Structure 1
Amino acid sequence: MSHTAPGELTAVTVPSLSPATEPGVSAGLSSALDRIGFGRVQIVVISLLMAGLFFDSLEQNSTGAMGPLLKESFGIDNAQLTMINTVTVLGGLAGRLIGGYLADRWGRRAALSLNLLVYTLGGLVSAVAVNYEMLLASRFVVGIGLGGEFTVGLAILAEIVATRHRGTLLATLNISSGGIGNIASFGFFWLVLGPLNNVLGGNDSSWRWTYVILAVPAVLVVFFRRYLPESPRFLLSKGNIHAANVSLSKLGSGSVTGLRHPGVVTPYVTEADIPVPTKSSYLTVFRGRNLRNTVAIGAASWMSFGAQVTLLFLMPILLVSRGYSLSDSLAFTMIMNVGSLLGACAASYLAGRAPRRRTVMSAAVLGCVSAITFATFANSTALILVLGMIFQFFTMMLNTMLSVWSPELFPTSVRAMGTSVVNGIGNVAGAVMPFAALFFFDLAGVPGVFFMIAVMYALLVVAARFGPETFGKSLEAVTEQPR
Structure 2
Amino acid sequence: MNSATERSTTPVTAATAYTPRQRHLILTFAIIGALIECMELNLLSFPLRDLATSFGVENQTIVGIITLQSLASIGGGFLFGWIADRWGRRITFVLFTGLYSVAAVVGGFITDLGLFTATRVVAGLAMGGAFGVIFAMFSESWKSPKRGFMGSVLQGMFIAGTLITQLVLFTTISLLGSDSGWRTGFVGIGVGCLIVAGAAFFLLPESTVWQAARAATVSTAAAVAAGEETKAVRTRPDARIVRGAIFLTICTTGVFAASYSYITFAPTFLRAEGFSLSTSTVILTVGTLLGIASYIVAGTLSDRVGRRRATLGACLVGVVGFGLFALIGGGNVWVAAVALMGPAIGYAGFGVLGTWISEYYPTRYRAFGSGVTYYVARGIGSGLFPLAAIAIAGGDLRIALALGGVGAVLGLVGCLFVPDTANKVISAEA
Q: TM-score, normalised by structure 1?
A: 0.79
Residue 353 of structure 1: SS of its match in structure 2?
helix
**Do the aligned residues in 2 keep the contact of 1:351 with 1:404 (CA within 8 Å)?**
no
**How far 1:41 sits from its partner (Å)?**
3.8
Bigger share in helix: 2
Q: 2:167 maps to which residue?
A: 187
**Do the aligned residues in 2 keep the contact of 1:126 with 1:211 (CA within 8 Å)?**
yes
Q: 2:374 maps to which residue?
A: 423
Q: 1:91 maps to which residue?
A: 72
**How far 1:476 sits from its partner (Å)?**
5.0
Choose the corresponding residue for 1:210, options 163, 185, 197: 185
Q: 1:253 maps to which residue?
A: none
**Do the aligned residues in 1 keep the contact of 2:168 with 2:185 (CA within 8 Å)?**
no
Q: 1:222 maps to which residue?
A: 197
Q: Percent identity over the alignment?
A: 23
- Aligned pairs (5 A) from 1:272-283: 277-279=233-235
- Offset from partner CA, 1:381-429 (integer Å, 9 cap, x none): 443343323432231x212211111111111111111101110221222
**How far 1:52 sits from its partner (Å)?**
2.2
Q: Distance in 1 between matches of 2:139 and 2:147?
A: 6
Q: Which amino acid aligns with 2:165?
A: S
Q: 1:62 maps to which residue?
A: 43
The runs of 5 or more residues in structure 1 that have no matched partner are 1-15, 242-274
**Do the aligned residues in 1 keep the contact of 2:302 with 2:309 (CA within 8 Å)?**
no
Q: 1:52 maps to which residue?
A: 33
Q: Distance in 2 between matches of 1:186 and 1:362?
A: 29
- Aligned pairs (5 A) from 1:241-320: 277-279=233-235, 284=236, 287-320=238-271
**Do the aligned residues in 2 keep the contact of 1:278 with 1:413 (CA within 8 Å)?**
no
Residue 337 of structure 1: SS of its match in structure 2?
helix
- Aligned pairs (5 A) from 1:458-477: 458-475=409-426
2:5 is aligned with 1:29: no
**How far 1:188 sits from its partner (Å)?**
2.3
**How far 1:150 sits from its partner (Å)?**
2.0
Q: Which amino acid aligns with 1:87?
A: L
Q: Cα distance 1:37–1:236, how it changes in 2: closer, same or farther (>3 A)? A: closer
Q: Which amino acid aligns with 1:475?
A: I
Residue 179 of structure 2: SS of its match in structure 1?
coil
Q: Which amino acid aligns with 1:185?
A: T
- Aligned pairs (5 A) from 1:18-417: 27-30=10-13, 33-35=14-16, 39-178=20-159, 180-194=160-174, 196-197=175-176, 202-225=177-200, 226-239=202-215, 277-279=233-235, 284=236, 287-378=238-329, 379-395=331-347, 397-417=348-368
Q: Distance in 2 between matches of 1:104 and 1:431?
A: 26
Q: Distance in 1 between matches of 2:123 and 2:183?
A: 15
Q: Distance in 2 between matches of 1:38 and 1:173?
A: 20
Q: 1:266 maps to which residue?
A: none
Q: Which amino acid aligns with 2:114?
A: E
**How far 1:113 sits from its partner (Å)?**
0.6
Q: Distance in 2 between matches of 1:462 and 1:17?
A: 50
**How far 1:153 sits from its partner (Å)?**
0.5
Q: Distance in 1 between matches of 2:249 and 2:121?
A: 22
- Offset from partner CA, 1:81-140 (integer Å, 9 cap, x none): 111211221222221111101001111111111000110111111111121101100001
Q: Distance in 1 between matches of 2:351 and 2:240?
A: 23
**How far 1:239 sits from its partner (Å)?**
1.9
State the Cα RMSD in Å. 2.6
Q: Which amino acid aligns with 1:231?
A: S
Q: Distance in 2 between matches of 1:172 and 1:17?
A: 39
Q: Distance in 1 between matches of 2:399 and 2:372?
A: 30
Choose the corresponding residue for 2:387, options 435, 452, 457: 435
Q: Distance in 1 between matches of 2:207 and 2:403?
A: 40
**Do the aligned residues in 2 keep the contact of 1:336 with 1:389 (CA within 8 Å)?**
yes
- Offset from partner CA, 1:366-394 (integer Å, 9 cap, x none): 11011000111133344334332343223
**Do the aligned residues in 2 keep the contact of 1:301 with 1:426 (CA within 8 Å)?**
yes
**How far 1:326 sits from its partner (Å)?**
3.9
Residues paired across the two proteins, number? 412
**Do the aligned residues in 1 keep the contact of 2:322 with 2:346 (CA within 8 Å)?**
no
Q: Which amino acid aligns with 2:371?
A: S
Q: Distance in 2 between matches of 1:38 and 1:398?
A: 31
Q: TM-score, normalised by structure 2?
A: 0.88
Q: Which amino acid aligns with 2:12?
A: L
Greater Cα shift, 411-420 or 382-391: 382-391
Residue 475 of structure 1: SS of its match in structure 2?
coil
**Do the aligned residues in 1 keep the contact of 2:152 with 2:350 (CA within 8 Å)?**
no
**Do the aligned residues in 2 keep the contact of 1:36 with 1:162 (CA within 8 Å)?**
no
Q: Distance in 1 between matches of 2:274 and 2:392?
A: 19
Residue 100 of structure 1: SS of its match in structure 2?
helix
The runs of 5 or more residues in structure 2 that have no matched partner are 218-230
Q: Which amino acid aligns with 1:234?
A: W
Greater Cα shift, 54-63 or 152-161: 54-63
Greater Cα shift, 381-390 or 427-436: 381-390
- The structure whose RCO (Cα within 8 Å, separation 6+) is larger is 2
Q: 2:225 maps to which residue?
A: none
Q: Distance in 2 between matches of 1:17 and 1:309?
A: 54
Q: Which amino acid aligns with 1:206?
A: G
**Do the aligned residues in 2 keep the contact of 1:171 with 1:351 (CA within 8 Å)?**
no
**How far 1:19 sits from its partner (Å)?**
11
**How far 1:342 sits from its partner (Å)?**
0.9
**How far 1:327 sits from its partner (Å)?**
4.0
Q: Cα distance 1:306–1:125, how it changes in 2: closer, same or farther (>3 A)? A: same
Greater Cα shift, 53-62 or 150-159: 53-62
